[in-house]
Structure 1
Amino acid sequence: MLPLLLTGLLAASACQFTGQDDAGDRARRLNTRTSFPLNAYIPDPSSDGGKAFGKAQWILAKRCMVRLGFPGFATLATEAVESTYPVQRGVPESHGPLGDDRPYGVDDPDRAAEDGYRGRPDDGSTQPMEWSADQYLALTGASGSGESRRAHGHLIPDGGCLGQAGRKIHGPAPAPAKIGGLTLTGFYSPAMQLWYTSRRQARKDPAWKKADRDWSACMKEQGFHYPAPEKAAVDTAWFGTEEPSKKEKKTAAADAGCKLDTDYIGTVHALEVRAQKAAISKHRKELADTRAADRRAVERARAIVAKDDKES
């Protein structure tokens, strides 16, 4: 009898662990940008078209930099920078949970116990190159005003050389959009604005509010008091340090565990997808125009790259 009893217990345990693994896999599958319908209207920089755009942008930008009086850019190898955005030398990077690409934050208790709320590190293949203050200003147009809008006596274009290059490839950017107290600019702002307003609409649903309450109750049982996951993720205690503290790790692990225990991600994801589909239906022409503009931009980018390769 004992061997049969042990066999039954092991089988039951295996089923429980399999269920947990399935819940975790499902949560992580849903907790990605690509699982949302609006993602189809936001180009992927890692795609062939996205890479062509990045390379073409830097090809045009380095020519602009030479015109502004930076002759060293004539020999810049675009392969080293084409997938990055400039970083100013000597300006320390901020540390904290910002930059996480997961729509609903931490979703793996084991990983959260190690990394806290820190964003997932990249593979190191797209490390940005650092530039001097005058080069950074000319490349990006950031912080420039008055006389500082000039480089070696030449007027720096709006958005710097990279901004000008982007407009030459993609055409004029849409008007800036105000969302959540921030000004959203760029070629993909219509889709991003709809993403923001869809989430705001979905959060009003009673089912989302109940998901927050269920998650909060689960956290309270473990000694953590937050009304919703996003409040835990942006606790000011996590900012300003390079490494996560023990408290941050414990909080993040509990956060991820409670999301799995309450099916938080599955619940709110379904609500947000429904809201996005409704937004797409209402703005179908605008989004179709955006997608068409993206295709034309990729064609222009590829032509610029092909011409540059031929001239090299």
Structure 2
Amino acid sequence: MSVVAAAVTDRRPMPHQAGRFGRLHAPRRRSAPGRGDPASRRASATTPALAAPLAPALAAALLAALVAGCGSTASTAPAAVAAARPPSLLDGASLRLPLDPYLLSPRESVSVAQAYRVLLAQCTRRFGVPDPRPRAATADVPATLNERRYGITDAALAATAGYRVSKPRPGDATPASAGAATAPDPRTLDILTGRHPGAVDGRPVPAGGCVGEAKRRLHATAPAGTDPDLAQRLSQSSYFASGRDERVRAVLRAWSACMRTHALYYSSPLDAAADPRFRTGPVSATETAVAATDIACKKQTNLVGVWFSVESELQRPDLATHRRALERIRQTNQIQLTVARGLGLG
């Protein structure tokens, strides 16, 4: 990325991006479902631990304890899970974690990012600089913060879109990024960043350049001393900490065992979503079949209910500790959304 591009896109990662599609485990070599498929046999022979061939006695035990119930709480979760009695949950879109009121939704984040780019362009046009906004392809985003926090849960969508946010439309493709046809005007970086205070062509450059001006306009009247990334950092931390909790690890093992009964070898739902076969191109019958099995195993093991309960438990102390700072973030978020609406966005 050029220095100019880096300055133009100087926006912190949006809150909904944090940890939403991150993996708890490195991707493993996987194969399409199907009995007798050579790739499936190789995956079974080479995948450590979870995909290793089972000894007859162990297989029988799993059949008795997991296959019939596909990971019932009594047989796969430790006593802590049973004692906590997590609610039976599946719909990720309806989940609301304690820190969520202090985070922008995915669509709100898009509106704020668009507002920033509009404000940036309004400034640069005063100096005769061409619109510097990146021409990125529009991408679908989840409707809510937690719609896919623990993997896919919408069976109706998965039946047609698999692991995609929406079913790809014919002709949908990310356009190749075109390189700059000519070298940028040497004044552009001064105008964007204000690295050399002064004037360009008799026009004073705002403090911090157009980037600084756009940020000030976006955060006008925001409370002083706000750490804009605090809620996002806490949300990331709770997500990864919950993935290390033994209660979540146990239910992930139960989910993985359930998937293995269908010759699918993934150690986490997020590994399934990251399968290279399901990233681009048309949605295949294999993808929708794997997605449907994934959701069925989540339901049978109550993976979403357990994981959500554990992460909620981890977030509550952070909420109590940082309540004042988080309230300043909430106010700042509302200010940014008001600016975006004033620009006809959101």
Give the direction of change, closer, same or farther, for the CA distance of 1:62–1:250 in structure 2 (3 Å limit).
same
TM-score, normalised to structure 2's length? 0.53
Give the direction of change, closer, same or farther, for the CA distance of 1:305–1:296 in structure 2 (3 Å limit).
closer
> Residue 126 of structure 2: which of 61, 67, 70 is its match?
67
> Residue 261 of structure 2: which of 208, 218, 221 is its match?
221
Q: CA RMSD in A?
A: 4.5
CA contact under 8 A between 2:97 and 2:312: conserved in structure 1?
yes
2:214 matches 1:165: yes
Q: Distance in 1 between matches of 2:150 and 2:178?
A: 36
Structure with the higher fraction of residues in helix conformation: 1
Tell me the amino acid that sits aligned with residue 273 of structure 1.
Answer: S
Q: Distance in 1 between matches of 2:275 and 2:212?
A: 34
TM-score, normalised to structure 1's length? 0.58
> Residue 282 of structure 1: which of 321, 325, 328 is its match?
321
CA contact under 8 A between 2:150 and 2:307: conserved in structure 1?
no
Partner of 1:107: 153
- Provide the identity percentage: 26
Q: Distance in 2 between matches of 1:33 and 1:161?
A: 39
> Residue 155 of structure 1: which of 191, 209, 212 is its match?
191
| Alignment map for 1:261-300 (pairs within 5 Å) | 261-295=300-334, 297=336
| Alignment map for 1:1-312 (pairs within 5 Å) | 26-28=89-91, 31-32=92-93, 35-44=96-105, 57=116, 60-70=119-129, 86-88=134-136, 99-100=141-142, 101-120=147-166, 148=184, 150=186, 155-157=191-193, 164-170=213-219, 188-239=228-279, 241-295=280-334, 297=336, 301=339, 305=342
Give the direction of change, closer, same or farther, for the CA distance of 1:223–1:292 in structure 2 (3 Å limit).
same
The number of aligned residues is 231
- Which region of structure 1 is more displaced relative to structure 2, 106-115 or 257-266? 106-115
- Which region of structure 1 is more displaced relative to structure 2, 258-267 or 246-255? 246-255
> What secondary structure does 2:99 align onto?
helix
Which one scores higher on RCO, CA 8 angstroms, separation ≥ 6? Answer: 2
Tell me the amino acid that sits aligned with residue 256 of structure 1.
Answer: I
CA contact under 8 A between 1:109 and 1:254: conserved in structure 2?
no
Q: Distance in 1 between matches of 2:126 and 2:219?
A: 21
> What secondary structure does 1:250 align onto?
helix
Is there any run of 5+ residues in structure 1 with no aligned partner, and where? 1-24, 74-84, 123-130, 135-146, 174-185
Q: Distance in 1 between matches of 2:315 and 2:306?
A: 15
Give the direction of change, closer, same or farther, for the CA distance of 1:298–1:215 in structure 2 (3 Å limit).
closer
CA contact under 8 A between 1:61 and 1:164: conserved in structure 2?
yes
Q: CA deviation at 1:232?
A: 0.9
CA contact under 8 A between 1:58 and 1:162: conserved in structure 2?
no
